[in-house]
Copies of this chain bind each other. A is one copy, B any other.
Amino acid sequence: MADKKKRKRAKDSQEEDLPFKSILESDEAILKLLKSYISTSLTAAGSSGASSSSSSKPLTLADLSLSSSCREVADLSLSSVQTEIETVIVQIARSILAGDGFSFSVPSRAASNQLYVPELDRIVLKDKSTLRPFASVSSVRKTTITTRILALIHQLCLRNIHVTKRDLFYTDVKLFQDQTQSDAVLDDVSCMLGCTRSSLNVIAAEKGVVVGRLIFSDNGDMIDCTKMGMGGKAIPPNIDRVGDMQSDAMFILLVEKDAAYIRLAEDRFYNRFPCIIVTAKGQPDVATRLFLRKMKMELKLPVLALVDSDPYGLKILSVYGCGSKNMSYDSANLTTPDIKWLGIRPSDLDKYKIPEQCRLPMTEQDIKTGKDMLEEDFVKKNPGWVEELNLMVKTKQKAEIQALSSFGFQYLSEVYLPLKLQQQDWL
């Protein structure tokens, strides 16, 4: 008994000191606020019609009359991919039999052929294509590689299995020579066939984890993410075998890094405020991006992002939100619309009185990256983000999520996040 009392006292005395703890309302009050926010934003989305990106049917290139001048890929079934490949090969055979040799028409993925479409808030490919003839010294190798990749993908379709890009490379090292070559042609083939890379059954190694109020099926097994302990569920590498998502969460919390994820998972934050917590542990990988998008689309929940207060935190947010230049042809399937920037925002540093010694000076490179991002369309369309980024570049200070630990290890889950939710403080 004495021991228990001692523990309780130690805990209380520390908690009373926590800054801003006093203005925190009860969990019930915060939940009520959240509920009204969600129903308001759903109504707003409904009344504004097709232009809303948060919950009604999203805009497509066709809606903008861009489908002839821009190119995007779609998820195709395995049998459709198989048919597409067979169609290409039959055309080639005809061309050869007619004495014309053969060539592939490959959409260009160069930067000059990329376009940011503000209405979609995504990068897409323009319509330029290049011809890749077999009977040309400069392209014979690439044409051969393309043919080989088509044959390998056809094999994957027949067997209905998934492989990694590395596996693909090793099936014919002599021809591919270097993995960058087979990887590049793989992206070409996606564009040629008009399908996503995951439709080709070529997957990326996954590193993301998810925990919280979500039930889904992974390759036929039903997974309850409230019963995944502290480790969480590893996000499956193959999104096409993920389905049946159900949730009673009020929002999705997208966390940049591992340490913050562990804190929230151990504290079972999702039981206090019903939510789904997801992280890619740093740079967003394809599997996590696909998984986040699927959750957003099926569950229609707001996505709140918790990232470091530095240019790379915002960069990571942008990759989830509007895609990477590298895979712009697939942006419609990889990006999640309407992600809110919850924190850590540059203005939080003063607002939450983060001690000077927990802030880090930005390097020359950081500042340059920050200034470059101010020129990016995806930042410019959000005045609140511009303001925050300007503040960061001006103060030349950055901070990691962990900087909040200076107020105690559980400050993140016990004060910072509840207060953010209470004040609906996101941009």
A residues at B contact (CB < 8 Å):
3, 7, 10-11, 14, 79, 155-156, 158-159, 161-164, 166-174, 203, 205-207, 209, 217-223, 227-238, 241, 258-259, 262-263, 266-267, 281, 355, 357-358, 400, 402-406, 408-410
Contacts and interface: CB of A to CB of B under 8 A. Distances in A.
A411 to B, nearest CB: 10
B167 A409 contact: yes
A67 B384 CA distance: 63
Contacts of A357: 173-174
B358 A259 contact: no
B233 A410 contact: no
Contacts of A155: 10, 14, 409
Contacts of A7: 158
Contacts of A355: 173-174
Nearest to A356: B174
B237 A228 contact: no
B218 A266 contact: no
A373 B173 CA distance: 29
A158 B270 CA distance: 23
Contact of A259 (B167, B218, B241): B167
Contacts of A228: 218, 221, 223, 233-234
A354 to B, nearest CB: 10
A259 B167 CA distance: 7
B241 A236 contact: no
Contact of A230 (B3, B230, B241, B410): B241
Given A170-B402, A219-B229, A231-B235, 7 more contacts: A161-B409, A164-B402, A166-B400, A167-B405, A170-B406, A219-B230, A230-B237
Contacts of A227: 221-223
Contact of A241 (B3, B161, B218, B229): B229
A90 to B, nearest CB: 15
Contacts of A409: 155-156, 159, 161, 163, 167, 171
Q: Can you list the 8 inter-chain pairs with the closest CB atoms, starting with the nearest?
A: A218-B229, A231-B236, A219-B229, A174-B357, A205-B258, A231-B234, A170-B405, A221-B227
A122 B255 CA distance: 38
A410 B161 contact: yes
Given A158-B7, A221-B227, A281-B205, A400 B167 contact: no
A406 B236 CA distance: 25
A228 B164 CA distance: 20
A173 B230 contact: no
